Every structure is written in C-alpha cells, then in structure tokens.
Amino acid sequence: MRAILKNGIGLFSPQGFLDGNNSSSFLSIEDVDATVELNTDMILVSLKKVIFFNKNGLDVFIKLFSKIKKKKNIIVGFCDYDSKKFTAISKFYSSEMNFSLFRTYDIALLFSNSFKNKNKNVLLYSDDKSQRTAMAIELHDFGHNPVVCQTYEEFHEKSSNSSAYDNIIYDTFIGQMGQKIATRVAGNTIIYSVSSFLDADIGNTFNIAYHNNSLNVGFRLFIFDAYKVISMNIHALNFFSKLSTSAAEYNATICFVGLDFTKIPLSFKDTMEDSGILFYKQMDDILQNKELLKELGASSAANIKNKRVIDKAIVTKLPDFIEATVATIEMMTNSKAKKEAVEVNKIEIKEKSDRIASSIGFYGDIDGMVVLVFPTKIAKKACELLIGESTDDLELILDTLAELVNIVGGKIKSLLGDHDVRVNITLPRTYQSIDSLMEVIENKKGVQVDLAFDDDKFLFFLTK
C-alpha cells in the first residue's frame, strides 16, 4: 500500500478489516521505507475506514513502527479513530505504548514540524497527568497555544464552546517523539530544528544529502532553530564549523537562533563565528526583516555569486519536462494543451494579473528548477479534481497547487528515470503573485514554453 505524503506526514489508510492474517498485506517494511525516504517526519496509519481490528492485526504495524523508530527516529502511530477504538488500543498496549495516537489527522498535524508556529489555540485534555504535561510542552514548542484542562469536568465545560479553539485534543497519546532533525521551508530559507544535547550523533541525524541538494538548487540561507538546545560538545562544534565552511563555497549563510550559551563554552561561539555562523535571539529577527533576509541571501536567487546557467544536459531533457507538465495539467483539467512558443531567455510574463505560480526543484544526475505560471482560472480548474468542488479560497488553491506541482515533479522523476536519469525532487513552492515569483527568478535564464489550454495561456519555465 502506498502512503499519501502531506505536510511531512506519511499516511497509510487501510480499509475494512484488520487482523493478523491480512495486516502484513496492507503494509510492508518496503512501503514504510519508501515513505520515510521522502523526508517524512511522521508515519501514521489511519483507522478512519477500519471497521474491525484486533491486537494481532495491530501488532504487525507496531513491529514495523518500532523498526522505523529505531532506524529513523521519527514519530509513528495511529490516527483517525473514535473513543471506542482509542480505548481498545490503550487496553491492548497499556504499559508498552511507545507509539503515538492522534484522534484526528489535524491533531497529528499540530505535532508536525511542517506545521510549526501556526499559533493555533488548542484545548487539551488527557486523564493521564504526565500526558497532559508532555502534550502541552510539545504543543508549545511547536508554536501553538495549549489550554490544558486538569479535570474532565473542566474539559467538558470548556469544549462546549468549541468555536473558541482551533483544535480540541482528547483521546490522544504521545509516545516517544521523533528525534530526527526536522526540516521546513520558509520562503527561500531552510530551517532545521535541533534540540537537547548535541554530540557526534548530529552526523547521523542531520540529512547532509538534503542540505547539499538545497544548496545545489539555490537555497542560500539556512537557520538552525536551537531554542531547545541545552548544550553541545566538541564533535557537534566541528560538525557545524565544517558545515558553515562548505556552505561558504556556495555563498550561503548559516545562522543559529535562540542558542543559549549558559552551558556551552563561550570559546565555541568564537569558533563558530570564525567559520561564518551568525547568531540571533529570535526567529523573527531574521524572517521579519526583509533587508536582513536580502543581505543574508534569502530574498533572491540573484545573490548567488556564481550564477548557474541552464546547460545542454537539461535542455536535451526538455521534452520529458514538458510532457510531464502537460500530461499532468491535461489529466487534472481534462482539456488539451497546445504548445505556442519556445524561447531560451530570462522569463517574460506579459500578463501578470490573475496569475499564480509554483516551482519545484530537482537534483541528482541533473539539477534545476521548474516554474509553472497559471492563470488563476486554470489553477482552480486543475485543483477541482483534488478538492472535489470549485473554490475561490486562494489559500486552499495554493495548497492544492503545491500538491499538483508535486505530481508534476513525480512524473518528471519517473520520465527521466525511464531515460536512466536519476533525480530527486524538492518540496514545491507556491507564489500568490507574479511579483513574489519574480523576486526569486527575475535574472535567471532558462527555457520558456508558452502553452495554451483551450483559450488560456499557461507558462512553463525551466531553469537552474
């Protein structure tokens, strides 16, 4: 069974009956491994469509969970169940529950690194005091505002005013949380979250391949969210110094935010500063300061010292890129595309109003970036298949557009793979206006292909 990957959560959704005979057919270690490899920070099995399960059925998943936890240090567990199922699972595994239970997918999202700092107001209750505390701490760390109820009566009273809260948490249990270094993207910045004591293990938990690929596709600002770091030793110091030195070759900057030096030798700070690492107290000191972002290289790819140019290796694969894009948009809109013009130059967008855009990077045997500029009308139509209805909610359209571009990226990967070109794809980015897109790609040269879907113009741009 394949997982759906959204917001860093890999979600498996079996349907029907789960028992010892069939569970291993639903989920294999290969399925889970393939999902984890896609930079997932949580693996969950949804019980929403499961009408019957027994302990033997769940045991198969639990065994897989513990293997994955051991190997990858990510959050694993179940979600989407009712109180009856929660009680049953809690009884099955009472004293040995080292996985998590999230009543809904939305509750799981609150504990996901990809959904950090959304400032959600969350009402929280568990009859287990240590769980109440643990969840409250985690929610706070993830940038939400938990309101903890100490008694069921208090919870009952407060939850009756459900409109006061974005989420209400009950029948939820957090097992050991993941310790993998979480990664998220904010604009043109990559943010890594590190915590507790940093030692030689940082070399195992930090995804160096992802970092290098982010440098390759043009990210220039990397922030370590270090509020929860208690201390670090010389091995971690060496790791960060080396990381910063190698980033400098790309003209990239590494910053630490919230690092407290009470328990870290001050000489470490000097060494890190010597290798080019910058320190800030608050995340907003960087992210809300446009001038500083520009200075640090996060506002525009134009800051790149050695401008990367589109080369023959990519251009020869242009038909694969076009085919993947056209086939996906045709599939989503059930309409036919017509190629109108192809030009190698800087991107030129004549009509800027009523347009939204999205981009996705790829890296591996070749690397670069695909930019798609949609008339809002086409984007809405293309997203209808995924949403199930017509909508004018721009945020929803942009979110869905990111899914659509993910499909395009997946298809590009598969088509290139057919020609023995191996690439991986990055997370997609969306732009709600052409101006915000131009901030990133204004000076980049690439191949621009103008396409028409019925009477609507659509733009494809391939660059490095």
Partner 1 sequence: MITNKMIDSFIEKIPPKPDALHATIKFLNDGNLTKAAKVAEEDLALKSYLIHLVNKPIYGFKTEVSDIGQIFGILSLSGSQQTVYNYMLSLLCPKKWELFNLNEISFNELQANLSSHWKKILDFLNIKDKEIESAITLLPASIIVSEALFSTKKEDVELLRSVNALDYNTILTRLCGTSLFDICNMIATKWDMSQQIQQIVYASSGLNPSDNEQINTLAKWMHLLLFYELSQPLFIKAGLNDFIDFQLEYVQDIYEDFTKVMEL
Task: Centre a 10 Å sphere on the Cβ of residue 301 and count the other Cβ atoms it contains.
Answer: 23
173 binds partner 1 (CB under 8 A): no
Query: Minimum Å distance from CB 419 to partner 1?
Result: 15
State the Cα–Cα distance between residues 367 and 361, nearest whole angstrom. 7
Residue entry with tokens 């208090």:
154
Please work out, in degrees rounded to the nearest 5, the angle formed at the alpha carbon of residue 440 by the alpha carbons of 435 and 445.
110
- Both tokens assigned to 434: 């052409």
Question: Of the two residues 336 and 352, which places its CB atom closer to partner 1 in the complex?
Answer: 336
Question: Of the two residues 259 and 407, which places its CB atom closer to partner 1 in the complex?
Answer: 407
**Out of 30, 52, 350, 420, the residue judged to bind partner 1 by CB under 8 A:** 52
Binding segment toward partner 1, per CB under 8 A, in 6-14, 185-193, 299-307, 360-368: 6-14
138 binds partner 1 (CB under 8 A): no
Question: Of the two residues 257 and 416, which places its CB atom closer to partner 1 in the complex?
Answer: 416
State the Cα–Cα distance between residues 335 and 178, nearest whole angstrom. 44
- Both tokens assigned to 245: 């030195």
Question: Of the two residues 93 and 105, which places its CB atom closer to partner 1 in the complex?
Answer: 105
Question: Of the two residues 28 and 443, which places its CB atom closer to partner 1 in the complex?
Answer: 28
State the Cα–Cα distance between residues 288 and 351, nearest whole angstrom. 30
Please work out, in degrees rounded to the nearest 5, the angle formed at the alpha carbon of residue 5 by the alpha carbons of 120 and 70.
90
State the Cα–Cα distance between residues 45 and 384, nearest whole angstrom. 26
Query: Minimum Å distance from CB 463 to partner 1?
Result: 23
Question: Of the two residues 119 and 390, which places its CB atom closer to partner 1 in the complex?
Answer: 390
* Residue 165 DSSP symbol: -
Provide the mask over 375-394, with x wherever binding to partner 1 is found by CB under 8 A and - wherever it is not: ---------xxx-x------
Q: Of 42, 31, 22, which is closest to residue 115 (Cα–Cα)?
A: 42
297 binds partner 1 (CB under 8 A): no
Q: Of 2, 14, 70, which is closest to residue 38 (Cα–Cα)?
A: 2
Binding segment toward partner 1, per CB under 8 A, in 7-15, 341-349, 366-374, 435-443: 7-15
Question: Of the two residues 11 and 277, which places its CB atom closer to partner 1 in the complex?
Answer: 11
345 binds partner 1 (CB under 8 A): no
Question: Of the two residues 38 and 313, which places its CB atom closer to partner 1 in the complex?
Answer: 38
Hey, which bits of 95-215 come out as E strands? 100-102, 121-124, 145-148, 167-169, 182-186, 189-198
* Residue 405 DSSP symbol: H
Query: Minimum Å distance from CB 128 to partner 1?
Result: 28
Query: Minimum Å distance from CB 403 to partner 1?
Result: 4
Binding segment toward partner 1, per CB under 8 A, in 165-173, 305-313, 358-366, 403-411: 403-411
Give helix 376-387 / helix 318-333 axis angle, nearest 10°.
70
17 binds partner 1 (CB under 8 A): yes
Strand (E) or helix (H) holding 430: strand 429-431
Give the pairing of strands 456-463 and 445-453: antiparallel
**Out of 43, 181, 226, 407, the residue judged to bind partner 1 by CB under 8 A:** 407
Give the pairing of strands 445-453 and 337-346: antiparallel
Three-class SS state of 401: helix
Three-class SS state of 144: coil
55 binds partner 1 (CB under 8 A): no
Query: Minimum Å distance from CB 114 to partner 1?
Result: 14
410 binds partner 1 (CB under 8 A): yes
149 binds partner 1 (CB under 8 A): no
Query: Minimum Å distance from CB 395 to partner 1?
Result: 17
The residue ranges that bind partner 1 (CB under 8 A) are 1-6, 11, 13-18, 21-22, 24-26, 48-52, 327-328, 330-331, 334, 384-386, 388, 403-404, 406-407, 410-411, 414
